[in-house]
Chains A and B, each alone.
Chain A
């Protein structure tokens, strides 16, 4: 009997559920009962953290720094001097790229100083006419992958220019062109490191989760103190957010390689470096390139939030337009962000897939034809811009730069579309919303809030125990204990409720739709483009119409989270199904499997590692939306993080609140990952 119980996991789960329900029913709300809520023993911890960080930011190891502006010596802590040096370098890179496209004085000022630049106003770097940048990008697209890519690039850049979003788009682009390569490089490096050492992998995993989940509002003020405010601060916050998927996918790709690949490399006499760069990374290219795609998507997903710490470009203009409820203009800008993301992604993909041709022997013009083409475009573009000064003698020279919001606009079209949806569906959606809120969401939320803390721990640790033994149970319990001892347990329960509902819906629909779409190359391409689009299209834009329809309610918050969190479930399901080896499929065909059998017995098990990562990322994405939820209006941890911005002890509070959000994610990750590893072992995939 006991033996049977030990083997049948579902029996264990049923027992756990029974205990949970008994605990739930028997302990009622009470201020004094420790079993209902733990006392906030580490209530003072955020203040301690606050003081420590303040000490690090403003006092530790002071050195004298001369400020020529106010002609005084100032006491500055060494750490921030060091971090400021880094940010100075990053800022220079961003400004340099930006000024090639738009012109300006910052690059010159870096070398000459403001005094000289002010005295010599002619010393200004002229920006390129938009025609030259657009033409150049199109030629690059052609050189990388022929006519199709050239067409995509040409149309995208023309759209951005003609719709009057050129300047902010190039500002955004220049900051992405710095943040993305840095993320790819760091991610690749850490991924390889984790591949080499199990211990590093174990240390990295929670850190990666934290980097993705902790809302960067939590560390907004430390970033502003250490790195200053501006594009560089935005770039740094972006790198923190965008690197983790690169690490994960590099690791996933390298792990999947059969040992024979490395062995053959070693046999051919590779040293370590050659083995890595010539054998392992190229062979794991498929997954590493998904990593690059993810970095680019995440960088552009951060455009709006980065603008809150000084990143110039589309982000701030979007916020302005939305605050005036100009949804049409906001949609146009959102499309610009998506186009930049897609163009960068397709170009980097084409570049990485381009094979070097060792055998041809090109003539001079063949070898340099693209450079020559660019030379022609360059001269023509400047000539047109010059002619433009005669065509448009007063005001705007459309052949040089179409100023912000002075191009063609389809805003009216989008706006009327939004209005139409509103007029048509308002009342039916309102009824649905009321039903959902009253019948589903409010009861679920009340159920979460009515959970005695002991019941929550029993359930979570019990699941941990059944899945991964005592070790998992303790890890899960540890993460929850941290939250339970702060004074924010109830807020965390609300976050958990929003996350559970959205992950269930997002995970289920992602896997089902992903599987259906992966059956056919056309629908596969469509669904991946859909993922790219909604991963980068700023959620704020569709949130305004959603808020108008559903009000400032949890329904709006859930819609926002689900749209974003479905993406990894979809993407990783599709990628997983596509990575099933051809030979296995053939073997299946020969054994005469049916469609359903193929899916159940070959495709699903083989793509399991990808799907597990996908669900893990769904949880992470859902939790990273906590702050967006707060911007709609919630009463969970996210709202307190927003509140901490103006709080006296805000730095400590914000950070600990952010870590509480991450702890939820880490606890779930522990259970999911242990389970996934067991499944992989069972399937012989490790």
Chain B
């Protein structure tokens, strides 16, 4: 009964979304007050139905209702409560339902924080989001209904993929989706501005907090995914340029560009048409990411062919959204022409360069991700583009980006001159180069004895450059929340650059063969293998290795990496043993049993890897801080009295 209620609620949500799309948008065009007024209650009602539908599916999961096909294929009677709740988004259907629910949550949030927004504008924003909801709900109901019954019900389910039975991955998809779908708000505002033909500073102040919050979630979601891949897959890497990762990186890059372009639109009234275009692209790339991950084209072009409905549907929907918004853009962009001018040497130019570089980066990732798929779909050939492509392109693009990043915050709006900046600039450059070099030499001579690498020095100089320019900027500024937010985000980038440079250059990793009692030295640490014992848990049996790590005779750590076999799926899984530290991680993963009591082991020494995720957390905090700036709220109070 409960699943049928869920199914019914989903259908009702679709009906309400259609109403939400059609009436307010028409009402806004033909000045029909009553239709315009429908937007807010309709959006809230849609949210209620979505909550009901989602609640029903969760209920089916918690109560082990294996007569629901989706529950039977992703759950099992042995799963603990946490993974029954997160199991809801453990596979295709439920994950789309989560996507749609999050869209409704964002709509609900817009209705709550909309007091300052004119009613017509609000009607258009919610109407556009309603349109997106129609697309996704149709997709759910037509091709991927999570409430479909399986009669007769099996005695037990096929269980959740063991990879997903992990707290880190349990919250990764909701975070990522909050980010992806969050860009729909900026997108809806952009389309609403195009429909209304007007885009002013007030508009940018409505959009900026939403964009920041979406960006914050996306940043955290990507970082969580990277952290999870690091400790769970047993590969010890933090980024693989896997198409699924790229699918999340592209909206992040464009979203970052959007945040900066919005700043110019708010402060200077320039770049307006460009801002609108970026908002359209950020959301389109989020949809593309959903398409890539959810259609199955990535794991297999055959999955696409065997169920053409799903892939084709998202592709058509993507084409509709992009096509309609670009057509609208073609007709309306000229209305956003900005009449303000700026000099070549100004903050506007800095932010322009920021945008150009970020967009070029996005394009290179897009090329490397889509080209193999297109060739394969056309039957021309099967090829893949490896990490060296992405690395060799992103590093040379990243360096100018960082230089502009530091320079941009120093520059004044509209016009600036070298002579004004002269001594300060020279001083900052000297500090950055000096301190960066000093650090790289310290790493070499004094501390860890890493080889001196030019790229490490460049990475450190870049990081210090961002840090000192940001500090200088904060010092010279009136320190509002948005200044602190931007400063924190930039500092986060500096920390992330340190992490990326030093991890990439100084990691040592080795696959070795050890018998019980043998030891191996890596990066000054002695890894003593004490053998393997068998252990068991609720859902798996495991071999557990014991590795004692010491340095110069002093014990450092004791690790117990596992090789698990999950009983339900009989699927092996590597659970690495990690000794985490601010300056280095020690990482041991069990390979396979060899003759006698020998095992193959994978040992890593990963310097500064934590800094990558630490930087991401700082960026996210910066994003939320900036979104809370008083000037976005002051407007609210001012308007509501008017």
- Is chain B found bound to chain A in the same assembly? no
B residues with a Cβ closer than 8 A to A are none
Interface residues of A (CB under 8 A from B): none
